[in-house]
Amino acid sequence: MTSSELWTRATADRYDAEETEAFSPAVLEPALAFLAALAGDGRALEFAIGTGRVGVPLRERGVPVAGIELSEHMAAVLRRKIGEDALPVTIGDMASALVPGEFSLVYLVYNTITNLLTQDEQVECFRNAARHLEPGGRFVIELGVPPLRFLPPGQVAVPFDVSGRHLGFDTFDLVEQVLVSHHLTREDNGRYRREESRHRYAWPAELDLMARIAGLELERRVANWHGAAFVQDSAKHISVWRKPS
């Protein structure tokens, strides 16, 4: 049984409306170009495909895409956009669910590997990616770098969004390597909706070891979808591991 927290129907139904920036062309287009180039003439598999923010437009670019999604409610929102024949989705855990065939690209974006709350499950996610890749295929992860340098002694919280409609901050358990994202969202009636979600954060070097366990080799690491150099102050990374041919 996966440790990931399930997205509810209510969360799935409002997800696209509340993630408008993530759906903007400025955010999506570089990611789609990056992923399409890696997929080439092959098939792509998206772990935790959600409502299809990336998978649907990547399919519209001509890349055959399949997905794995734990939440049936998120998959139902995706299904309103595109049919099963065009973009098949398997309901299941991205650390263990199997999809027929081999893929030139498996990808996992938007920090979603942190939904797996144990190191063992994250290792199994890498193994599952390797299981689906053809020789020479790539596994791509988009993940933020844990902002622990923003934590002075005695402080446990780091804000990540302070705006008129939303307040967001993360609290950290440095022993368990778990963060909790807290959200206060102002609704149209003026009231605030409070939500929180748990995540297991991981460092780039830890992911590289997980990849090695799964038989994958680091090919490239950049700071964003445009390919900027990954440096000490980078807030996130796009990492590409390759299955040896």
At residue 236, the pLDDT reads 96
Looking at residue 35, its pLDDT comes to 98
Give the per-residue pLDDT at 60: 96
Cα separation, 179 vs 197, whole angstroms:
8
Whether the Cβ atoms of residue 69 and residue 50 lie closer than 8 Å to each other: yes
* Residue 155, pLDDT score: 83
Instruction: List Cβ neighbours of 215 (8 Å cut-off, separation of 6 or more).
Output: 130, 243, 244
pLDDT for 1 equals 55
pLDDT along the chain (245 residues), means of 10: 71 73 86 98 97 96 97 94 96 96 97 96 97 98 91 85 90 92 89 91 97 98 98 96 96
| pLDDT for the residue numbered 142 | 98
d(CA 111, CA 125): 13
3-class SS string, 25-51 = HHHHHHHHHHHHHHHCCCCEEEECCCC
pLDDT of residue 144: 95
Task: Give the integer Cα–Cα distance in Å for 109 and 129.
Answer: 13
Burial class from Cβ neighbours inside 10 Å (0-12, 13-18, 19+) for residue 168 reads middle
Cα–Cα distance list, 75 to 9, 51, 140 (Å)? 10, 6, 21
Long-range contacts of 186-189 (CB under 8 A, 24+ apart): none
Class at the top of the CATH hierarchy for domain 9-145+203-242:
alpha beta
Largest Cα–Cα distance of the chain, in whole Å?
A: 57
For residue 141, the 8-state DSSP code is E
Which residue do the tokens 């495909």 mark? 49
